[in-house]
Each structure stands twice: as structure tokens, then as C-alpha cells.
Amino acid sequence: MRILVTGGAGFIGSHVVAAHLEAGHEVRVLDALLPAVHPVYPDGPPGLDGAELVVGDVRNAATVDRVLEGVDAVNHQAAMVGLGIDVQDMPAYAGINDLGTAVLLAGMARAGIGRLVFASSMVVYGEGRYECAEHGVVPAAPRRRSDLDEGRFDPPCPVCGRELAWGRVGEETPPDPRNTYAATKLAQEHLSSAWARSTGGTAVGLRYHNVYGPRMPRDTFYAGVASIFRSSLEGGKAPQVYEDGGQMRDFVHVTDVAQANLKAFENPPEESTLRTYNVASGTPHTVGDMARALAEAFGGPAPEVTGQYRIGDVRHVVASPSRAQEELGYAAEVSFEDGMREFATAELRAAPQEP
């Protein structure tokens, strides 16, 4: 099968490309190599040996038509990631994530390509699943600045104000995007669903949880927390952990994410529809756990808990991977302990180009 991978020169995309090649597929990569996230590559982007690279923008219809020629399926990884620094980022996020997806889907319809796998995200859930001792499962009330300023980080019950117990979210959980990036990722799901119904194609949205691993970007606003902690340790500084470090997450290794993409192509939906899957390890840890494990493996300073917060962050979001296990045969193989030991010394992607 010949697969187009958009964003294939990126952190996750390059591992997806490698997995497709190893499985015997032909791979064409479309990547804009935007200087805000990519350094200059004297020898070409890493991880793409054996793939055809086309430098271009997924928002350009002519470019999309050209790269879709002779393609059997599309793996859409191109995206602007991170929470968004402020509302002034909204046009950039919507342009790359949503307009880019719409242009790609329209091109696929013109080319008669009916198989799509794309990167969604856990952020579409907003806060995760919560239960009140008195009122049962309830949506978490939005966290207020006044509470965060006073160190009350857990969202209260919207009915009685009591502390809630967190649980695992399944794919049927109603979406509740709480920042710009989350809103654009949910829009990608809606666009893909509309495309599948209109064209008879199949779409699989993989809701990635906290992905980490080799070639993770460093020194950019869009880097993940694991990369930020690694960069601090390399600079001889203690990782700065926001809130009280008790934020619960699921950290999943990038090679497991790449395997989930392979499984999604091997097990497409039986109907013309969108099917979503959590891509997670199934073993949650706190952000503080991750910082301590990474610092210990690196041999650097112990983390410092700062009490600082970002208003767009959520407190706890942990997924159930059962649907992916049952329908795709996917299960993460890299343990948290092994993954953090590897990541402590893994190669990171160099800093992006100067503006």
C-alpha cells in the first residue's frame, strides 16, 4: 500500500513513517518544515530514510492534489500542537489544523481515496471523568482562577462543590474542549466524520495521550512537558512542576503510538464512518511522578513543585484503552519505567530556526 503521511517529518510523524516502511508500505511524506518547529536539517529530516519527501503546505490544494497521485491511503499527522499561548494564536491553529484538514479531505475526495487515519488528541475531552460521592458521575466544573491562586487545583462538583474522584474516560465521553488546540482537534474529527459519510470512506481518529520519546522537539512553545523537563535537566536546572504535581496523565511512548497507526490501517471501520480510539499506555502516572522518574534516570536535580498554573490546562485526564485493544488489537509495550530511562538520554530534535 502507498501511504501519504502528512507532517511526516515531525516528532510523531517520523516514527509513524518508520513504522509504515518497516511494515512494507511505500510512504510519501508531505511536510511544510515550518521554521517555528523545525531546525535546518543539513542531511534532511531524521527518520525518513526510504520515504519520498515533498516539502509543501497541506493548506495548498494544488500541492495536495499532486502528492495524492498514486496514493492508496492517507495518514494525517500534520498539526499545530500545544495549548495555544493566547487567543491571538487562534487563526494559526484553525488555519493549520482545520483548514489544512478540510483541504486534504477535499483532495482525497477528488482523488477517490477512501481510507484515512489521523491524529486526534485526548484534549478533546477537556477534564476527564469525575464522580461525586453524592451525585455520581458529573462534569467537572471549570477551574476558577481564585481557587488556583489559593492552591485548590482539583475541580469541584458542579452541584455541591465537593471534591471529585477522577476516573478513566472512554471514547463515548462527551467532548469538552477547553483551549484553542482542543477546539481545533475536535473540529478535525467533525470534518473527517462528514467526509466519511459524504464519500463512503472510512476515518479513524487516534486520540493520543501524552506522547514522549526520541526526536521530541526541544526549546519551543509547542514542546511537551517531558521535553521541557529534559531540557531543564540538560541545563543543570531542576524541572519546574506546575500546580502540586498531582495532575494525572497517561504517558505513552512514541513507538507505541506508531504501532497504533499501523493497527488502524489493518483494522478499518466496517462502515463509512469515523471511529475514534484512545491511544494510551493504560497505566496512569502524575506529572510529578514523571518529573521524578526522568530526573532520577538523568542523574540531575530533583524537580521543584512551583504551584504555578496555566489557565488552559486540565487537572486529570486518563483514558481507557479497552476499545483500541478489542477492535484494533493495540496494546502499549513500552513500560513507564523503561520509557523514562530511555528518554533521559534519547536524542531530541534540535531547536527551531531563528525567526
Q: Measured on CA atoms in the order 223, 224, 225, 230, is the torsion positive or negative?
A: negative
* pLDDT beyond 70 at 49: yes
Q: Measured on CA atoms in the order 146, 149, 151, 154, is the torsion positive or negative?
A: positive
Residue 50 burial (CB count, 10 A): 12
Distance (Å, whole) CA 256 – CA 236: 30
| Burial class of residue 303, CB neighbours in 10 A (0-12, 13-18, 19+) | buried
Confidence of residue 355 (pLDDT cuts 50, 70, 90): low
Q: Which distant-in-sequence residues (6+ apart) come within 8 Å of 224 by Cβ?
A: 210, 211, 212, 216
* pLDDT beyond 90 at 354: no
Query: Each residue of 173-217: pLDDT tens digit?
Result: 989 888 889 999 999 999 999 999 999 999 999 999 999 999 998
Residue 13 grid cell: 510523524
Work out the mean pLDDT of the chain and round it to a whole number: 93
Beta strand 285-286 with 248-249: parallel, antiparallel or unpaired?
Answer: antiparallel
The larger pLDDT score, comparing residue 342 to residue 310, is at: 342
The pLDDT, as a whole number, for residue 223 is: 61
Q: What is the pTM of this model?
A: 0.93
The mean pLDDT of 46-59, rounded to a whole number, is 96
In Å, how far are 11, 47, 179, 217, 343 from 347, measured between CA atoms?
11, 12, 30, 10, 8
The larger pLDDT score, comparing residue 218 to residue 279, is at: 279
* pLDDT beyond 80 at 107: yes
The pLDDT, as a whole number, for residue 219 is: 64
Query: Each residue of 159-179: pLDDT tens digit?
Result: 998 889 999 999 999 898 888
Domain boundaries along the sequence of the chain: 2-128+169-345
Q: Measured on CA atoms in the order 77, 79, 85, 86, is the torsion positive or negative?
A: negative
The angle that helices 287-298 and 336-343 make with each other, rounded to 10 degrees, is: 50
The pLDDT, as a whole number, for residue 87 is: 84
Q: Are 207 and 171 in contact (CB under 8 A)?
A: yes
Q: Are 17 and 2 in contact (CB under 8 A)?
A: no
Q: Which distant-in-sequence residues (6+ apart) come within 8 Å of 127 by Cβ?
A: 139, 140, 155, 176, 178, 314, 315, 316, 317
Among residues 9, 4, 75, 17, the alpha carbon closest in space to that of 37 is found at 9
The larger pLDDT score, comparing residue 257 to residue 270, is at: 257
Distance (Å, whole) CA 58 – CA 96: 8
Kindly report the CATH class assigned to 2-128+169-345. Answer: alpha beta
Q: Are 329 and 277 in contact (CB under 8 A)?
A: no
Residue that is written with C-alpha cell 478540510 in the block: 102
The pLDDT, as a whole number, for residue 286 is: 96
The pLDDT, as a whole number, for residue 127 is: 85
The pLDDT, as a whole number, for residue 220 is: 61
The mean pLDDT of 328-349, rounded to a whole number, is 95
Percentage of residues in the chain with pLDDT exceeding 90?
A: 78
The pLDDT, as a whole number, for residue 305 is: 97
The larger pLDDT score, comparing residue 347 to residue 70, is at: 70
